[in-house]
Amino acid sequence: MHVKICGLTRQADAALAESLGANFLGAILAGGPRHLTVDAAAQVLGPRRHTVARVAVFGTQSRTEIAEIATGLALDVVQLHGDQSVADIDWLLARTDGEVWPVIRVSGTVLPPDTLARAQAAGTVLLDAKVVGQLGGTGVALDWHGLQGEVATLRARVPGLKVVLAGGLHAANLASARGLLNPEVVDVSSGVEQSPGIKHPVALAAFLNAVRATATNG
Task: Give the tens place of pLDDT for each residue, 45-71.
Answer: 999 999 999 999 999 999 999 999 999
* CA–CA gap between residue 200 and residue 33 (Å, rounded): 16
pLDDT tens digits for 198-208?
999 999 999 99
Q: Report the CATH number that the domain containing residue 51 is assigned in CATH.
A: 3.20.20.70
| Arithmetic mean of pLDDT over the chain | 95
What are the residues whose beta carbons fall under 8 Å from the beta carbon of 149, sequence distance 6 or more? Answer: none
**Is residue 146 very low, low, confident or very high in pLDDT (cuts 50, 70, 90)?**
very high
**Is residue 25 very low, low, confident or very high in pLDDT (cuts 50, 70, 90)?**
very high
Average pLDDT value for residue range 161-166: 98
With vertex at residue 26, the alpha carbon angle to CA 162 and CA 210, rounded to the nearest 5 degrees, is 70
* CA–CA gap between residue 51 and residue 206 (Å, rounded): 21
What pLDDT does 218 receive? 58
Tell me how many domains the chain contains.
Answer: 1
What pLDDT does 214 receive? 86
- Are 185 and 23 contacting, i.e. CB atoms less than 8 angstroms apart? yes
Phi first, then psi: what are they for 86, rounded to 5°? -60, -40
- The residue segments making up the domain with residue 98 are 2-217
* CA–CA gap between residue 129 and residue 143 (Å, rounded): 9
Higher-pLDDT residue of 6 and 216 is 6
